[in-house]
Chain A
């Protein structure tokens, strides 16, 4: 029989890795971040099991660690807020295909929350309710952020066609 950790936390590994990869654009670093988050979760597994939203907790840990790494990577850059950190960091990995570079190019134009909602919907294929749980926000906020990101995608596509 699978334990709580195996059934509910370990199974998030792929999704968490892709989230970290989209923030960091580096596979090795993304893997490190996810591993650290899972080790933290393993150490706190008893408390995690009692939480209402353990998934949200995991996503928050991965996101904070990713942003922390971005800060460390660019501590020589003066930034005003968290969104600037994300924007300043976005550059697709060199080995990426033109299609992936196109996605990264679009994500670069989105603010942090819209990037997260967009990625969870488009890459992970999650429902609004699941995204709300992952991001610890309301379903309404998910819909608003997704609507805004897709509106931007439409104009991005029009620019690509020009």
Chain B
């Protein structure tokens, strides 16, 4: 076996072995004494062969949007956002108009109050045509 390994090793170092012969050499090394360095080196290669990336699923055609779908989604998003902004703007305008009306009404109300209070002096004027009641003119006339 030792001669076989040595002959295969020579061939291997000359770069003349086939893949099958290389597998055979590695198998022979595993079950033979000696050749510690070669065994260790091939074991290291085997360890490196077992290195693997973490498992992930391959991307699927269906899961991904094609270009026109992407453009449509972007356009839809822009339109939705614009519509929301427009609605917000409209609401703000309506609220502003309402506040202006309320303010106008409150000015009118204030002015009305002022007008009403200035008319309070006129309240006494209502007694002017009631001189008979105030002074009992008829009775006075009778006494005369």
Contacts and interface: CB of A to CB of B under 8 A. Distances in A.
Contacts of A143: 15
B49 interface: yes
A103 interface: yes
A93 to B, nearest CB: 11
A78 interface: no
Interface residues on B, range: 20 to 34
A150 B58 contact: no
Interface stretch (A64-72, A120-128, A133-141): A120-128
B13 A151 contact: yes
A146 interface: yes
A157 interface: yes
Main secondary structure of the interface of B (DSSP, over half): helix
B59 interface: yes
B40 A150 contact: no
A106 B13 CA distance: 14
Nearest to A151: B13
B135 interface: no
Contacts of A103: 41, 44-45, 48
A157 B13 CA distance: 11
B53 A5 contact: no
A157 B53 CA distance: 30
Interface residues of A, number: 38
B51 interface: yes
B94 to A, nearest CB: 48
Interface string B31-53: 00000011011011101110111
A161 B37 CA distance: 7
A5 B58 contact: yes
A31 B54 CA distance: 8
A160 interface: yes
A139 B48 CA distance: 25
A79 interface: no
A5 B49 CA distance: 23
24 contacts: A10-B58, A17-B52, A17-B53, A21-B51, A22-B48, A27-B51, A30-B53, A31-B53, A97-B47, A99-B41, A102-B40, A103-B45, A123-B45, A123-B48, A127-B19, A147-B15, A150-B14, A151-B13, A151-B15, A157-B37, A157-B38, A157-B41, A160-B37, A161-B37
5 tightest Cβ-Cβ pairs between the two chains A and B = A99-B44, A147-B15, A103-B44, A17-B53, A154-B13
